[in-house]
Structure 1
Amino acid sequence: MAIKRNKRFHAEVATSSLSDIMFFLLLFFLIISTLANPNVIRMTLPKSKTNEKTNKQLITLSVTDEKRYFIDKEEVLLEQLETRLLQLMDPEKQQTVIIRIPATLQVQDLVDVLQIGVKNKLKFVIATSPK
């Protein structure tokens, strides 16, 4: 007498946990991508063939197309720029000021900012984007 099973075994993959994992990965990458670049003032930087990455103590000075000046996302008037930079500079640390200036502005606008660095013997670096 042959005994047959009425129930057949079907292989199943539980996918409910996979959607949870994908959701957490999506959240993780969204949060990390916003923290990766804290300078959210968008501008078109000048092009350069060579780019050097710096890991020193940095102060970011951004100039917009409308000639608005920002020091680490804080807006500063041009007349107050020198005093504010000197307040932020720590003589014990080797701090560098990174100038983010659009490629569309005139050279004189860049020179006006660089003269502050020359006058106070500050280290200035111009940010560029790769060619």
Structure 2
Amino acid sequence: MAIKRKKRFHAGVESSSMSDIMFFLLLFFLIISTLANPNVIKVPLPDAKETDTKVGSHLTLTVTSEKRYYLDKEEVSPQDLEVRLLQETKLRKDETVVLRPAYDLDVQELIDLLQLGLKHQLKFVIATKAG
């Protein structure tokens, strides 16, 4: 008489659903990273009917209501602004500067910045928010 032994139980973890979860997490982080704004200085921008949201790798010059200047995320003194602006544009090999002025900034301050760009043949683009 042949006595058959029961097969032993082997513990295992099913990992087929893990790949689905990882795929969804990857998609989530890819979508969120494209929506993230690289500028951390919050400035209320002027309103416009249409805006172009592609900033790319251009240099960003932010001017707050208190007339504090930021090149990308780094604060720059008004005296050093011209020199640093030229250094950064030469370093990036890109003459385009995205100007992000506060909505309540004086017009004269804006004109002074634009004349600085004309003096050094830089291309200034003024950032606005869709209103």
Tell me whether the two structures share a fold, i.e. TM-score over 0.5.
Answer: yes
State which drifts further: 114-123 or 32-41.
32-41
Map 1:15-34 to 2 at 5 A.
25=25, 29=29, 32=32
> Percent identity at matched positions?
54
**Distance (whole Å) between structure 2 residues aligned to residue 71 and residue 64 of structure 1:** 12
Q: List alignment gaps of at least 5 residues for structure 2.
A: 1-16
Over 3 Å counting, the alpha-carbon distance change for 1:94 and 1:34 in structure 2 is: closer
1:90 alignment partner, SS class: helix
3-state SS of the aligned residue for 1:112?
Answer: helix
Distance 2:82 2:90 in 1: 14
Distance across 2 between alignment mates of 1:113 and 1:89: 15
TM-score by length of 2: 0.70
Check conservation: 1:56, 1:95, Cα contact below 8 A: no
| Deviation (angstroms), 1:91 | 8.2
Q: TM-score, normalised by structure 1?
A: 0.70
Write the deviation string for residues 21-54 of structure 1: whole angstroms up to 9, x where unpaired.
5xx95xx65xx45982110100110011121244
Q: How does 1:106-125 map to 2 (within 5 A)?
A: 106-125=106-125
Q: Distance in 1 between matches of 2:129 and 2:94?
A: 24
Residues 34 and 68 (structure 1 numbering): CA distance in 2 closer, same or farther, change over 3 Å? farther
Q: What SS does the aligned partner of 1:85 have?
A: helix
Aligned pairs for 1:18-97 within 5 A: 25=25, 29=29, 32=32, 36-54=36-54, 57-90=57-90, 93-97=93-97
CA contact (8 A) 1:45 1:128 kept: yes
Unaligned residue ranges in structure 1 (runs of 5+): 1-16
> 1:97–1:125: 8 Å Cα contact kept in structure 2?
yes
Which residue number in structure 2 is paired with residue 126 of structure 1? 126
Partner Cα separation in structure 2 for residue 70 and residue 55 of structure 1: 16
How many residue pairs were aligned? Answer: 114
Closer, same or farther: CA 121–91 of 1 in aligned 2, 3 Å: farther
